[in-house]
Amino acid sequence: MVAFVMKRLDFFNREDVHIVATGTTGTMITHAGVDKVEMVNSGPWGGDAEIGAMVSRKEIDAVIFFRDPLDKHPHDVDISMLMRLCDVHDIPLATNYKSAHITIKYFTERLV
């Protein structure tokens, strides 16, 4: 995630872009150069559920959630819930580098 964000700092630091991240990821991307990040709890401590609630309230326009599909996370239930909520509420969900790239490209063109 950090490498992805660092290549797109211009986008992630735009005034009209609001970033919400779980605690660990938020800390890492802040250190990578993102100026403003709203941080919720870390994923295992309920951060994925907090973002899911924001998706349900239509406060999130897209979710980028890189995950290793070959590994099981201790909070896999929360991750599945977040993905399901994105589907239910028709929120774009990028779970790999290429889909995240396409998502950012779309929002870059939309925000011009």
| Tens-place pLDDT, residues 21-76 | 999 999 999 999 999 999 999 888 999 999 999 999 999 999 999 987 777 766 68
Per-chain mean pLDDT for the chain: 92
Q: Where are the domains of the chain?
A: 2-110
pLDDT surpassing 90 at residue 111: no
Kindly report the backbone phi and psi dihedral angles of residue 8, in degrees, each rounded to the nearest multiple of 5, phi listed first. -130, 35
Distances (CA, A) of 45 to 24, 38, 50, 75: 11, 16, 10, 9
Asked if the model's pLDDT at residue 110 lies above 70, the reply is: yes
Average pLDDT over residues 90-107: 96
DSSP reduced 3-state for 66: coil
CATH of 2-110, one of 3.30.70.3400, 3.40.50.720, 3.40.50.1380, 1.10.760.10: 3.40.50.1380
Listed residue (58, 49, 110, 44) closest to 88, CA to CA: 58
* Known catalytic residue at 68: no
| Helix H or strand E segment including 21 | strand 19-21
pTM for the structure as a whole: 0.89
pLDDT at site 71: 74
| 86/76: higher pLDDT | 86
pLDDT of residue 112: 67
Q: What was the pLDDT predicted at 70?
A: 74
**Active site residue: 16, 48, 68, 87, which one?**
48
User: What CA–CA distances, in Å, run from 49 to 16, 34, 43, 54, 81?
Assistant: 25, 23, 8, 9, 7
Q: According to the model, what pLDDT value does residue 78 have?
A: 83
